[in-house]
Chain A
Amino acid sequence: MTHHTKAPEGLWPQLSLALGTAALSGLALSAIARGLHSQGIELDFAIFTRSRPEGSHGALMLQGLALSAQIAAGSAALALLLGIPLGLARSADNPVTARLAASYVSLMRNTPLLIILLAFNFGVVPALPGPVREWLYNHRSEIWATIAALGSYTAAFVAEVVRSGVAGVGRGQIEAGRAAGLSDADVTRLVMWPQAVAAMIPPGGSVLMNMAKNSALASQIGVAELFFRGAELQSSTFHGFEAIAGVTIGYLALSGVILLITRAGERLSTPWRKR
Chain B
Amino acid sequence: MNPQHQPVQSPHPQPPAARPLRQRLSLTATLLPGFGQRQWWRSVIGAVLAWSLLIAAISRDSLRSPLPLSEGLLANLALLCAAAAVGAVHLGSGLIPRQADTAAARVKAAEIASSWRTRVTLLIALSAATSLLRLTVALPGWSQVGENLRFLLIGPLGAPEQAASLWRVSGALLLAISAPLALSGRRAAQVAAAVSATAGTALTWPLVSGQLVMGGLALSICLATWCLSLSAVLAPLLAAARISRWPVPRLLASAVIDISRAVPLLVWIFGGYLLLPYVIGQGRGMLAVILAMSVFTASYFAEALRAGLQDLPRGQDEAARSLGLSGTQTLLLITLPQAARRMAPTLLAQSITLFKDTSLVSVVGLIDLTSAARAVANRTPDAAITLYICAAALYFTVSWAIGQMGERLQRRA
- Report A's interface with B, CB cutoff 8 A: 9-10, 13-15, 17-18, 21, 28, 31-32, 34-36, 88, 91-100, 102-103, 106-107, 109-116, 118-119, 122-124, 126-127, 166, 169, 171, 174-175, 177-178, 184, 187-188, 192, 213-217, 219-220, 227, 230-231, 234, 240-241, 244, 247-248, 251-252, 255-256
Closest B residue to A244 using CB positions: B271
Q: Mark B355-375, 1 if CB is under 8 A from A, else 0.
A: 011011011000000100110
B226: Cβ under 8 A from any A Cβ: no
In contact, A219 and B266 (Cβ under 8 angstroms):
yes
- Complex CA gap A98/B389 in Å reads 24
B55: Cβ under 8 A from any A Cβ: no
Which residue of B112, B263, B277, B389 contacts A93 across the interface (Cβ within 8 Å)?
B112
On whether A188 and B400 interact (CB within 8 A), knowing A234-B274, A240-B274, the answer reads no
Stretch at the interface among B194-202, B247-255, B305-313: B247-255
Q: Cβ of B356: which chain A residues have Cβ within 8 Å of it? A: 110-113
Shortest CB-to-CB span from B274 to chain A, Å, is 4
In contact, A93 and B388 (Cβ under 8 angstroms):
no
- Which residues of B, 223-260, contact A by the 8 Å Cβ criterion? 245-249, 252, 259
Shortest CB-to-CB span from A229 to chain B, Å, is 12
Q: Mark B267-279, 1 if CB is under 8 A from A, else 0.
A: 1001100110111
Q: Identify whether the interface residues of B are mostly helix, strand, loop, or mixed.
A: helix
- Report B's interface with A, CB cutoff 8 A: 1-5, 8-9, 21-22, 25, 27, 30-31, 91, 95, 112-113, 117-118, 121-122, 125, 245-249, 252, 259, 262-267, 270-271, 274-275, 277-279, 352, 356-357, 359-360, 362-363, 370, 373-374, 377, 381, 384-385, 388-389, 391-392, 395-396, 399-400, 403
On whether A102 and B352 interact (CB within 8 A), knowing A116-B392, A122-B388, A251-B262, the answer reads no
- Complex CA gap A91/B20 in Å reads 11
Shortest CB-to-CB span from B387 to chain A, Å, is 9
On whether A115 and B264 interact (CB within 8 A), knowing A92-B1, A110-B356, A171-B3, the answer reads no
In contact, A192 and B30 (Cβ under 8 angstroms):
no
In contact, A174 and B396 (Cβ under 8 angstroms):
no
